[in-house]
């Protein structure tokens, strides 16, 4: 697992590679805690390269979003990653962690 | 069978059918069951009575019942709505039919013909409604059938779920194999302290459209049951399945499990809770209520199962429910078994003297069988007390309506069994107490509201077994008994002397004195001071006791305690002097050696492992002549919450005692409930322990009372 933090234009990008699951959420959490402490203005959480993703991983992403202040522009990107999309589809959540039933137009794959 | 016997059979059958009709109508009227559940039973009762009455040429009954049946037929065919007004009319018709049937057996009880004509006219309005465009059945008010076919699932995940290797995603995937998962709502509560990424903060809610039963759905969550809270609510549409699944003898739990609305685990949990309540001497709640409280099933499903169950009871042909046996034959059988028990005791004595081991063993086997036959024969006479309670429902309904009071009657323990003859003799005392509670106990609605009480009064009938006895409690939440007012009235009526001091409990007992009444107004229901003395006498005739507990503005509780049977008991034989005495075994806790010298003071109590145990010297209290033996024993007895010791001389062991009532001449003797013939041919006296203790307490309180009081009491005796 690797979490890469870098800036691209005026966005802070969090790129998750390989696995984000119960087996490595603690490690990932430690890295993301800094961002939670000092939230950027614009944040992209990129899950498109993940190979393993489960509910614990999804919960960590949700927590990170919940820690972002109102003015932070938070974008979750899963592109066409099948593994991540399946988890969000099971929970019937969109990329903003809102129920799909409330916003049926929103695609599951979020901000691709 | 001659005509007279055939008529008696018709009367019995008609009365039973009218009971069914009444209980069904009352349940529907009270909203405890739907008319659909009971209309067949009500219709069948009227139809059968009409048919049988026709055979005997009781034309008036045929004509009246025909009209009732016609109206019921319209309801059955959904052509007529079953309104509260129609329920009221049918209950009045029921009462009229009862009178008509009773007048066959006793022509002096002729039914009121005017009333019959009025009722027929009222029925006719339903049968031939005035021509109008408006149909009688208001379809716009008809309930819309609820066909929502989805299961509703709520999961509050435990924190440890992720660490335990469980992933809610797997459960969602599995549910998809059972049906269509819809409207998933997931929430995460991160507000609870510091976030731990390995803890699960999720809550899930979803709808599942599936033909799977609850057991199958619950299995999906099998591994998180201990750590999470999973609530699975059955679809409303399952009500039909529940009704279809209810078999003739199925119990509530079985019906719900079979229909797939309840899992075996949930049923076990509720039953375990019931057992725990009973072990801890708490009032166990009804299974249906418990399942609703646990969130296992919806109220509508429990009602559907119960209503189906009751419906099935009525549907069962009457000859399969009961076998009618002439009561004399049953009494004869029990009498013979009594003789068998007595003869057996004589044989046991002889065999004991022979000291033949094989014969003794063989005889012990036979004794065991005789005991079982005895219990089974006595069981034949046992009936559920609900039969009596059922009649009270109608009284509560009618009387509260007459007085304009709103009263809710709660019946608990209707399945408690009691000797048939006792149930019959209990009817009148119970009726008196209930009428008094409604008339004088429970206040009118405006007074209740003024006192800050709910406008609806509560009346509860509760029956249960307690240490070899049956206890019946009648509790109301009314005005309570005012000890000062009772005392004043007793003085006014010359029942009590002005300077006599009584405890609160003793003041309450004054209401059982003949001619006593504090009711300021005499109504046609109660308040005439006739009744409560009869109530007490009836209960004492059944070897029972009645006690009262009351708090002003909180309510009153009458507690009636009755022996289980009137015929044969397991006894323990003791002697005092030449007298053979029998103590009911179910009241005995233990036997101890009695050491009179170890008593510190000359008072009648001893130290039983740190507890004060009052005792009664049976020789003194029953005035048995002779000298006390050097070695005596204490038999520790318990009844209700009271415990006491009986000092006797010899302990002889257990026996079966066939109770023979005492001759009228000896009934005044306090503490003796009956006599029995012992194996040796001697006569034994059966101790009435509660009466003996009560008598001793009175004697003791007289001894402790001031001298002036004592002389007054002696004067009264």
Q: Which residues of B touch A26 (CB under 8 A)?
A: 197-198
Counting Cβ atoms within 10 Å, is residue B458 exposed (0-12), middle (13-18) or buried (19+)?
middle
Q: Which of B63-67, B280-284, B586-590 has the lowest mean pLDDT?
A: B280-284
pLDDT band at A102 (very low <50, low <70, confident <90, very high): low
Q: Which chain B residues in 470-529 lie under 8 Å from chain A, judged by CB atoms?
A: none
Task: Tell me if B320 is assigned to some domain.
Answer: no
For position B310, what pLDDT does the model report? 59
Alpha-carbon distance B194 to nearest alpha carbon in chain A (angstroms): 11
- In this model, does residue B135 exceed pLDDT 50? no
Beta strand B229-233 pairing with B417-419: unpaired
Total number of domains in chain B = 5
Q: Mean pLDDT over residues B142-169, rounded?
A: 77
Average pLDDT over chain B, rounded to an integer: 80
Are residues B367 and B426 located together in one domain of the fold?
no
Please check whether residue B187 touches A, CB under 8 A.
no
Are residues B506 and B606 located together in one domain of the fold?
no
Beta strand A42-53 pairing with A73-77: parallel
B203, two tokens: 């809550």
Question: Higher pLDDT residue, B698 or A71?
Answer: A71
Give the pLDDT confidence of B474-513 residue by residue, as tens digits: 999 998 988 888 888 888 877 777 877 788 888 888 888 8
Task: Tell me if B322 is assigned to some domain.
Answer: no
- In this model, does residue B184 exceed pLDDT 80? yes
- In this model, does residue B574 exceed pLDDT 90? yes
Please check whether residue B180 touches A, CB under 8 A.
no
Give the pLDDT confidence of B432-466 residue by residue, as tens digits: 899 889 988 899 988 899 988 898 999 999 988 77
B377, two tokens: 């024969």
Task: Tell me if B628 is assigned to some domain.
Answer: yes
- Give me the CATH number covering residue B29: 1.20.120.160
- In this model, does residue A108 exceed pLDDT 50? no
Please check whether residue B183 touches A, CB under 8 A.
yes
- The pTM for the full model equals 0.51
Task: Tell me if B389 is assigned to some domain.
Answer: yes
From the list A60, A66, A91, the residue facing B197 with the nearest CB is A60
Give the pLDDT confidence of B399-436 residue by residue, as tens digits: 888 888 889 888 888 888 888 778 878 888 888 899 88
- In this model, does residue B139 exceed pLDDT 50? no
Are residues B214 and B303 located together in one domain of the fold?
yes
Are residues B286 and B357 located together in one domain of the fold?
no
End-to-end CA distance of chain B: 56
For position A55, what pLDDT does the model report? 94
Q: Is B18 within 8 Å of B49 (Cβ atoms)?
A: yes
Domain boundaries, chain A: 42-112
Q: Say if the Cβ atoms of B183 and A92 lie within 8 Å.
A: yes
Q: Is A29 within 8 Å of A60 (Cβ atoms)?
A: yes
Alpha-carbon distance B180 to nearest alpha carbon in chain A (angstroms): 12
Q: Mean pLDDT over residues B196-200, rounded?
A: 92
For position B537, what pLDDT does the model report? 82
Q: Say if the Cβ atoms of A63 and B185 lie within 8 Å.
A: no
Are residues B181 and B204 located together in one domain of the fold?
yes
Task: Tell me if B339 is assigned to some domain.
Answer: yes
Give the pLDDT confidence of B506-548 residue by residue, as tens digits: 888 888 887 676 554 444 444 434 468 888 888 877 878 888 9
Q: Say if the Cβ atoms of B188 and A56 lie within 8 Å.
A: no
Q: Say if the Cβ atoms of B185 and A99 lie within 8 Å.
A: yes
Are residues B168 and B311 located together in one domain of the fold?
yes
- In this model, does residue B468 exceed pLDDT 80? no
Q: Say if the Cβ atoms of A55 and B190 lie within 8 Å.
A: no
Percent of chain B with pLDDT over 90: 13
For position B385, what pLDDT does the model report? 82
Give the distance, in angstroms, between the CA of residue B359 and the centroid of all CA atoms in the same chain.
Answer: 45
- ∠ at Cα A39 (A33, A44), nearest 5°? 90
Q: Mean pLDDT over residues B148-154, rounded?
A: 80
Task: Tell me if B549 is assigned to some domain.
Answer: yes
Q: Mean pLDDT over residues B116-132, rounded?
A: 78
For position B325, what pLDDT does the model report? 80
Q: Say if the Cβ atoms of A59 and B183 lie within 8 Å.
A: no
Give the pLDDT confidence of B339-378 residue by residue, as tens digits: 888 888 888 888 988 888 899 999 999 988 988 888 788 7
Q: Say if the Cβ atoms of A63 and B188 lie within 8 Å.
A: yes
Please check whether residue B167 touches A, CB under 8 A.
yes
Kindly provide the b/e burial profile for residues B216-246, where b requires at least 16 CB atoms within 10 angstroms of the residue's own CB. ebbebbeebeeebebebbbbbebbebbbebb
Please check whether residue B203 touches A, CB under 8 A.
no
Q: Going by C-beta distance under 8 Å and a sequence separation of 6 or more, which residues neighbour residue A86?
A: none
Give the pLDDT confidence of B243-263 residue by residue, as tens digits: 666 555 567 788 888 878 888
Rounded CA separation B583/A103 (Å)? 79
Return the axis-axis angle of helices B386-403 and B3-30, rounded to nearest 10°: 60
Beta strand B579-584 pairing with B683-687: parallel
Q: Which residues of A touch B197 (CB under 8 A)?
A: 25-26, 28-29, 56, 59-60, 63
- In this model, does residue B614 exceed pLDDT 90? no
Q: Mean pLDDT over residues B571-594, rounded?
A: 89
For position B131, what pLDDT does the model report? 52
pLDDT band at B173 (very low <50, low <70, confident <90, very high): very high
For position B143, what pLDDT does the model report? 32
Q: Which residues of B touch A99 (CB under 8 A)?
A: 184-186
Please check whether residue B193 touches A, CB under 8 A.
no
Alpha-carbon distance B43 to nearest alpha carbon in chain A (angstroms): 50
Domain hosting B537: range is 383-563
Please identify, among B315, B338, B361, the residue that sits at the C-terminal boundary of a domain: B315
Rounded CA separation B696/B637 (Å)? 14
Please identify, among B289, B315, B341, the residue that sits at the C-terminal boundary of a domain: B315
Are residues B593 and B623 located together in one domain of the fold?
yes
For position B149, what pLDDT does the model report? 67
Q: Which among A111, A93, A89, A112 is positioned nearest to A102, based on CA atoms? A: A93
Percent of chain B with pLDDT over 70: 85
Q: Going by C-beta distance under 8 Å and a sequence separation of 6 or more, which residues neighbour residue B76?
A: B39, B40, B43
Please name the residue of chain A whose CA is at the shortest distance from the CA of residue B176.
Answer: A90
What ipTM does this complex have? 0.91
Please name the residue of chain B whose CA is at the shortest distance from the CA of residue A91.
Answer: B184
Rounded CA separation B647/B613 (Å)? 12
Beta strand A2-8 pairing with A42-53: unpaired
Rounded CA separation B611/B432 (Å)? 40
Cα–Cα separations (whole angstroms), residue B245 to B7, B9, B536: 39, 35, 47
Please identify, among B528, B544, B563, the residue that sits at the C-terminal boundary of a domain: B563
Q: Which among B583, B647, B639 is positioned nearest to B614, based on CA atoms? A: B647
Q: Provide the strand spans (E) within B197-290.
A: 202-210, 229-233
Q: Mean pLDDT over residues B644-655, rounded?
A: 90
**Mutate which: A24, A28, A55, vs B, most B CBs within 10 A:** A55
Give the pLDDT confidence of A7-18 residue by residue, as tens digits: 888 899 999 999
Q: Is B657 within 8 Å of B571 (Cβ atoms)?
A: yes
Alpha-carbon distance A85 to nearest alpha carbon in chain B (angstroms): 12
Rounded CA separation B283/B250 (Å)? 24
From the list A54, A62, A92, the residue facing B184 with the nearest CB is A92
For position B397, what pLDDT does the model report? 87
Nearest 10 degrees: Cα torsion B12, B16, B18, B22: 150
Task: Tell me if B587 is assigned to some domain.
Answer: yes
- Give me the CATH number covering residue B547: 3.30.565.10
Q: Which single residue is written with the structure tokens 């979803």?
A: B206
Q: Say if the Cβ atoms of A59 and B169 lie within 8 Å.
A: no
For position B394, what pLDDT does the model report? 84
- ∠ at Cα B475 (B471, B480), nearest 5°? 130
Give the pLDDT confidence of B680-693 residue by residue, as tens digits: 778 889 888 877 88
Are residues B594 and B703 located together in one domain of the fold?
yes
Please name the residue of chain B whose CA is at the shortest distance from the CA of residue A23.
Answer: B198
Please name the residue of chain A whose CA is at the shortest distance from the CA of residue B202.
Answer: A59
Please name the residue of chain B whose CA is at the shortest distance from the CA of residue A101.
Answer: B183
Alpha-carbon distance A8 to nearest alpha carbon in chain B (angstroms): 27
pLDDT band at A43 (very low <50, low <70, confident <90, very high): very high
Q: Is B208 within 8 Å of B175 (Cβ atoms)?
A: yes
Sign of torsion, CA B31 B32 B33 B39? negative
B436, two tokens: 């008094």
- In this model, does residue A110 exceed pLDDT 70? no
Please name the residue of chain B whose CA is at the shortest distance from the CA of residue A57.
Answer: B197
Give the pLDDT confidence of B71-91 residue by residue, as tens digits: 888 888 888 888 888 888 999
- In this model, does residue B240 exceed pLDDT 90? no
**Mutate which: A31, A37, A56, vs B, most B CBs within 10 A:** A56
DSSP states of B148-169: --EEEEEEE--TTTTTTT--HH
Are residues B245 and B217 located together in one domain of the fold?
yes
A-B interface: how many C-beta pairs under 8 angstroms?
61
B351, two tokens: 């065999």
For position B146, what pLDDT does the model report? 38
Are residues B616 and B686 located together in one domain of the fold?
yes
- In this model, does residue A3 exceed pLDDT 70? yes
């Amino acid at each position: 697992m690797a979490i890469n933090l870098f800036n691209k234009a005026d966005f802070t990008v969090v790129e998750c590679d390989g696995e984000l699951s119960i087996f490595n959420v603690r490690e990932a959490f430690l890295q993301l805690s800094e961002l939670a402490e000092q939230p950027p203005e614009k944040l992209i959480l990129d899950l498109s390269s993940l190979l393993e993703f489960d509910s614990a991983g999804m919960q960590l992403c949700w927590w990170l979003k919940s820690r972002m202040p109102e003015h932070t522009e938070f974008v979750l990107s899963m592109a066409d990653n099948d593994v991540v999309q399946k988890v969000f589809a099971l929970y019937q959540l969109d990329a903003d962690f809102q129920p799909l039933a409330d916003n049926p137009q929103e695609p599951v794959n979020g901000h691709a | 069978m001659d005509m007279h016997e055939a008529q008696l059979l018709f009367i019995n059958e008609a009365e039973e059918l009218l009971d069914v009709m009444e209980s069904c109508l009352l349940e529907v009227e009270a909203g405890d069951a739907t008319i659909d559940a009971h209309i067949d039973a009500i219709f069948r009762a009227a139809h059968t009575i009409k048919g049988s009455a026709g055979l005997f040429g009781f034309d008036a009954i045929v004509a009246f019942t025909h009209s009732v049946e016609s109206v019921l037929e319209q309801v059955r065919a959904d052509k007529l709505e079953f309104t509260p007004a129609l329920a009221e009319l049918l209950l009045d018709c029921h009462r009229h039919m009862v009178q008509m049937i009773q007048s066959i057996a006793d022509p002096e009880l002729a039914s009121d013909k005017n009333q019959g004509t009025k009722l027929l006219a009222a029925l006719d309005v339903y049968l031939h409604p005035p021509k109008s465009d408006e149909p009688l059945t208001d379809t716009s008010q008809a309930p819309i059938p609820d066909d929502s076919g989805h299961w509703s699932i709520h999961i509050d995940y435990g924190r440890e779920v992720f660490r335990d290797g469980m992933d809610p995603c797997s459960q969602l995937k599995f549910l998809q194999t059972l049906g269509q998962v819809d409207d998933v709502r997931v929430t995460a509560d991160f507000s609870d302290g510091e976030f731990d990424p390995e803890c699960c903060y999720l809550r899930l809610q979803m709808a599942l459209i599936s033909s799977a039963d609850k057991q199958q759905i619950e299995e999906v969550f099998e591994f998180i049951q201990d750590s999470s809270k999973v609530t699975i609510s059955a679809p409303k549409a399952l009500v039909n399945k529940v009704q279809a699944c209810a078999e003739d003898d199925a119990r509530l739990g079985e019906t719900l499990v079979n229909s797939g609305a309840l899992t075996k685990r949930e049923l076990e949990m509720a039953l375990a809770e019931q057992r725990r309540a009973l072990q801890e001497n708490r009032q166990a709640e009804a299974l249906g209520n418990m399942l609703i409280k646990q969130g296992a099933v919806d109220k509508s499903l429990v009602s559907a199962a119960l209503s189906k169950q009751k419906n099935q009871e009525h549907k069962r042909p009457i000859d399969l429910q009961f076998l009618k046996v002439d009561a004399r034959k049953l009494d004869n059988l029990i009498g013979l078994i009594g003789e068998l028990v007595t003869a057996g005791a004589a044989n046991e004595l002889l065999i004991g003297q022979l000291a033949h081991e094989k014969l003794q063993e063989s005889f012990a086997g036979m004794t065991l069988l005789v005991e079982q036959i005895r219990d089974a024969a006595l069981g034949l006479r046992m009936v559920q007390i609900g039969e009596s309670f059922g009649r009270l429902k109608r009284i509560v309904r009618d009387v509260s309506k007459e007085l304009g009071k709103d009263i809710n009657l709660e019946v608990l323990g209707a399945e408690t069994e009691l000797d048939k003859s006792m149930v019959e003799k209990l009817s009148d005392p119970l009726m008196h107490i209930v009428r008094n509670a409604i008339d004088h106990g429970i206040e009118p609605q405006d007074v209740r509201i003024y006192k800050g009480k709910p406008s609806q009064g509560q009346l509860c009938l509760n029956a249960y077994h307690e240490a070899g006895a049956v206890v019946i409690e009648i509790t109301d939440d009314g005005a309570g008994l005012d000890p000062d007012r009772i005392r004043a009235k007793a003085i006014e009526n010359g029942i009590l002397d002005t300077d006599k001091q009584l405890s609160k409990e003793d003041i309450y007992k004054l209401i059982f004195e003949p001619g006593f009444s504090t009711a300021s107004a005499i109504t046609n229901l109660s308040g005439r001071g006739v009744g409560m003395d009869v109530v007490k006498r009836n209960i004492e005739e059944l070897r029972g006791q009645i006690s009262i507990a009351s708090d002003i503005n909180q309510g009153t509780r009458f507690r009636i305690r009755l022996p289980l049977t009137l015929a044969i008991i397991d006894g323990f034989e003791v002697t005092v002097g030449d007298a053979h005495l029998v103590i009911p075994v179910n009241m005995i806790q233990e036997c101890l050696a009695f050491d009179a010298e170890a008593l510190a003071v000359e008072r009648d109590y001893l130290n039983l492992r740190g507890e004060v145990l009052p005792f009664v010297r049976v020789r003194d209290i029953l005035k048995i002549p002779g000298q006390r033996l050097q070695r005596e024993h204490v038999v520790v007895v318990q009844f209700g919450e009271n415990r006491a010791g009986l000092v006797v001389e010899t302990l002889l062991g257990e026996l079966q005692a066939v109770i023979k009532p005492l001759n009228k001449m000896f009934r005044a003797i306090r503490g003796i409930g009956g006599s029995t013939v012992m194996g040796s041919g001697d006569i034994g006296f059966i101790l009435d322990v509660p009466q003996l203790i009560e008598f001793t307490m009175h004697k003791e309180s007289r001894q402790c009372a001031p001298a002036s009081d004592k002389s007054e009491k002696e004067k009264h005796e």
